[in-house]
């Protein structure tokens, strides 16, 4: 009888130890999986940020090239505007002040 109780205790201890070891392995696997996931997430975020920077042109020479060409175009348009402003104002004034004061022939016959 004592041997049976002793064997039962040993079996219970073996089962408890096995369950504890299994739980420890599960915790270890979970932490390892979380580390792998976080490393992968960081890698994907870095790739995303790089591709985003290439598309938007906000990084490096692509962004500065775009900005300098835009500023050059704006300067060119401003100079063109200033050069043509006086002649356009003059043309508009002439058209506004050129008023035909003659009564049309058809209207003069009715009256």
Averaged pLDDT, 31-50? 94
The dihedral of CA 55, 60, 62, 63: what is its sign? positive
Is a pLDDT exceeding 70 seen at residue 98?
yes
Q: What's residue 18's pLDDT?
A: 94
Q: What is the pLDDT of residue 62?
A: 63
Determine the Cα–Cα distance for residues 78 and 72; give it in Å rounded to an integer. Answer: 10
Please state the pTM of the whole predicted model. Answer: 0.42
Taking only the tens place, the pLDDT of each residue in 55-89 is 775 555 666 788 889 999 999 999 999 999 999 99
Enumerate residues 6+ apart whose C-beta is below 8 A from 63: 56, 57
Helix ranges (H only) for the chain are 2-56, 60-97, 105-110
- Mean pLDDT throughout 94-107? 83
Please give the pLDDT value at position 70.
92
Q: Three-state DSSP class for 104?
A: coil
């Amino acid at each position: 009888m004592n041997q049976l109780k002793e064997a039962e205790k040993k079996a219970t201890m073996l089962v408890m130890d096995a369950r504890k070891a299994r739980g420890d392995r599960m915790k270890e696997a979970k932490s390892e999986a979380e580390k792998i996931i976080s490393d992968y997430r960081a890698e994907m975020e870095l790739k995303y940020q790089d591709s985003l920077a290439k598309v938007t042109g906000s990084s490096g020479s692509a962004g500065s090239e775009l900005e300098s060409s835009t500023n050059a175009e704006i300067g060119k348009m401003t100079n063109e505007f200033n050069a043509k402003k006086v002649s356009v104002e003059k043309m508009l004034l002439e058209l506004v002040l050129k008023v035909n004061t003659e009564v049309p022939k058809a209207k003069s016959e009715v009256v």
